Amino acid sequence: MTGRPVQVTSGRHPFEAAILVATVFVGVVLAVTREVPRSASQTMPHGLITVWMVMLAAAGLVALLGAWWRGSVETGLRVEMAGILLLAGGVTMYVIAVFTVSGMAALVAGGFTAAIACGAWARAGQIGLDLRRIDRAGRVEAVPLLVEDGDR
For residue 125, how many C-alpha atoms fall within 13 Å in the half-sphere facing its CB?
6
pLDDT tens per residue across span 49-77: 999 999 999 999 999 999 999 988 899 99
Q: Which residue has the higher pLDDT, 64 or 1?
A: 64
pLDDT tens digits, one per residue of 81-140 = 999 999 999 999 999 999 999 999 999 999 999 999 999 999 999 999 999 988 887 766
* β partners of residue 9: 148
Global pTM reads 0.84
| Residue that wins the pLDDT comparison between 146 and 124 | 124
The pLDDT-based confidence of 80 (bands split at 50, 70, 90) is very high
Work out whether the CA dihedral 6, 58, 84, 25 comes out positive or negative: negative
Predicted confidence band of residue 12 (pLDDT cuts 50, 70, 90): confident
All structural domains of the chain with their residue ranges: 6-142
Q: Is the dihedral of CA 36, 40, 45, 48 positive or negative?
A: negative
